[in-house]
A and B are shown apart, each in its own frame.
Chain A
Amino acid sequence: DVKVTQSSRYLVKRTGEKVFLECVQDMDHENMFWYRQDPGLGLRLIYFSYDVKMKEKGDIPEGYSVSREKKERFSLILESASTNQTSMYLCASSPVTDNEQFFGPGTRLTVL
């Protein structure tokens, strides 16, 4: 079974803190994605990556950055957390030849 894991299920941070969200997949997938999910807005793509060291901006990259130093790991970084970044963050991965994305359990981040 494909497994996508995220470092924390719940996280509480203060405004201005630097926040790292980690995602690891164990199926050697090339593609990895970071989404945020907010009520009534669905899933919105923040950043994605098709290969190690490679990153592309999604629809809402402002205030975020990413790092992909190893194929299995894709990190989302909030350089200076703000209250409007309080959200559910979902990581996903997919093989390059497949249409299905596999999602992690999500991290619910609260910024106070």
Chain B
Amino acid sequence: GQSLEQPSEVTAVEGAIVQINCTYQTSGFYGLSWYQQHDGGAPTFLSYNALDGLEETGRFSSFLSRSDSYGYLLLQELQMKDSASYFCAVRDETDKLIFGTGTRLQVFP
């Protein structure tokens, strides 16, 4: 079967750094994406990794290790507005996305 594992919940304080891990087991793999979803909102795209290594976009970075079937999203200088759910998603060979069950991040002052 196809599965993506990520922690259900993470908590942190403002200004801190948090890492959300994602391990995947899928029949095909073309890349790993991350999406953010605030309560009541639509998922929005954060990043995409097709190759091994770290991609940085402002305060957010995403890492991929294809040999370990593992990736993570790193959020730095946390702000209250970062409180949201974060989903990893594998892009398979047919361009479909297979989503993880999501990690709820709560940022406290």
**Residues in chain A within 8 A of chain B (CB atoms):** 4, 31, 33, 35, 40-45, 48, 50, 56, 58-59, 90, 92, 94, 96, 99-106
Q: Do A41 and B101 contact each other (CB < 8 Å), given the known contacts A31-B95, A58-B96, A99-B31? A: yes
Would you call B71 an interface residue if the criterion is a C-beta within 8 Å of the partner chain's C-beta atoms?
A: no
Q: Which of B74-109 contact A (CB under 8 A)?
A: 87, 89, 91, 94-102
Q: In the complex the two chains form, what is the Cα distance from A97 to B101 in whole Å?
A: 26
Number of interchain pairs (Cβ within 8 Å): 52
Q: Do A45 and B96 contact each other (CB < 8 Å), given the known contacts A101-B45, A105-B41, A105-B42? A: yes
Extra 18 A-B pairs, beta carbons < 8 Å, given A45-B97, A94-B95: A4-B42, A40-B8, A41-B101, A42-B99, A42-B100, A42-B102, A43-B43, A43-B87, A43-B89, A43-B97, A59-B98, A92-B43, A99-B50, A101-B97, A102-B45, A103-B43, A105-B41, A105-B42
Would you call B48 an interface residue if the criterion is a C-beta within 8 Å of the partner chain's C-beta atoms?
A: yes
Closest-by-CB residue of B relative to A50 is B95
Which of the residues B4, B44, B48 comes within 8 Å of A99, measured between beta carbons? B48
**Residues in chain B within 8 A of chain A (CB atoms):** 4, 8, 31, 33, 41-45, 48, 50, 87, 89, 91, 94-102
Chain B hits for A35, CB < 8 A: 99
Could you tell me the distance in whole angstroms from the C-beta of B34 to the nearest C-beta in chain A? 11
